[in-house]
Amino acid sequence: MKLLYSDAHMHSNPVEGLGARRIAEKFKDVGGWFIALVMLPPYHYGFKNGGLDDYRRSIELLLEEAGRIRETGLKTRVLAGFHPAEIDEYVRRGMGLEEILELADKVFRLIVDYHRRGLIDGIGEVGRQHYSTTPARIIASELVMLKAFEYARDNDMIIHLHLEQGGYVTVESIKILSEYKGLPKKNVFLHHVSPREAVWAEKYEFNYTLPAKYKTLKKALQNRPGKALVESDFIDDPRRPGVSSYPWDIPVRLKQLIDEEVVDEEYVYRIMVDNIVEAYRVEPP
């Protein structure tokens, strides 16, 4: 059986890092067929004015990167959002939370505009900080997320959520909040989940992406959950090499788990291909 591999959540940075073309070529060489490409905060690409125009430039850069992935022959889905870390960053620069919420709303309108032109598939990342910050900033992040839920619902867009790893409470709160806004769960992706959130995400039929770490995958996949996806969350930042894994770690980790008989090839094919086709609504390879 020829195995194919997908990365369900990844970033590229053509300014600071390898850029999408080299990443996609390298991933293709090891059997990669699909990458979900997610926008980084604008200041990671060197856009540091802090306004809406930074987002427009970031989205344009993201679309060029997506084009490079397609040129390599891989399939892709493209997401742009307003990361909770951006809220902390703009507070540090002196912006008020109300002003930040207004900016986020403008950013979402811009993203929806690109979506209507068929250029952007979804919103991501939005959500809550996974690190300690002030309570008010967490609430602001949640308000931004709720706003994103409305846009995703009204435009049938997928949405990648960056959340704290709180097990049951993390997933339960997303269940309640997404139902409150009428967002269908097929459009919701809980990104970077640990096995503790994965269990609940599976139960509630959310999409979820597991980081490609040996222990995480072993624990989360041993019972062969139906909806699992795997991500590298690669940030393509040579100054922070250890923060996430590489897309090409995905085949390495999964082959290791096949060798150890934690999973079999058929199951790996299912999560690497069938689940991607269903969750991202792409044509099979």
Binding site for Zn ion (CB under 5 A): 125, 162, 233
Least CB distance from residue 247 to Zn ion, whole Å? Answer: 13
Q: Which is nearer to Zn ion, 68 or 162 (CB)?
A: 162
Min dist CB 236 to Zn ion, Å, is: 11
Three-state secondary structure string covering the chain: CCCCEEEEEECCCCCCCCCHHHHHHHHHHCCEEEEEEECCCHHHHCCCCCCHHHHHHHHHHHHHHHHHHHHCCCEEEEEECCCHHHHHHHHHCCCCHHHHHHHHHHHHHHHHHHHHCCCCCEEEEEECCCCCCCHHHHHHHHHHHHHHHHHHHHHCCEEEEECCCCCHHHHHHHHHHHHHCCCCHHHEEEECCCHHHHHHHHHCCCEEEEECCHHHHHHHHCCCCCCEEEECCCCCCCCCCCCCCCCCHHHHHHHHHHHCCCCCHHHHHHHHHHHHHHHHCCCCC
Residue closer to Zn ion, measured from CB, 83 or 147: 83
Query: Between residues 137 and 162, which has the closer beta carbon with respect to Zn ion?
Result: 162
**Distance of closest approach, residue 9 Cβ to Zn ion, in angstroms:** 6
**Which of 245/275 has CB closer to Zn ion?**
245
Least separation in angstroms between CB 20 and Zn ion: 15
Nearer to Zn ion, 127 or 263 (CB): 127
The residue (of 191 and 263) whose beta carbon lies closer to Zn ion is 191
Q: CB of residue 192 vs Zn ion: minimum separation in angstroms?
A: 5
Residue nearest to Zn ion (CB): 162
What is the closest distance, in whole angstroms, from the C-beta atom of residue 79 to Zn ion in the complex?
A: 10
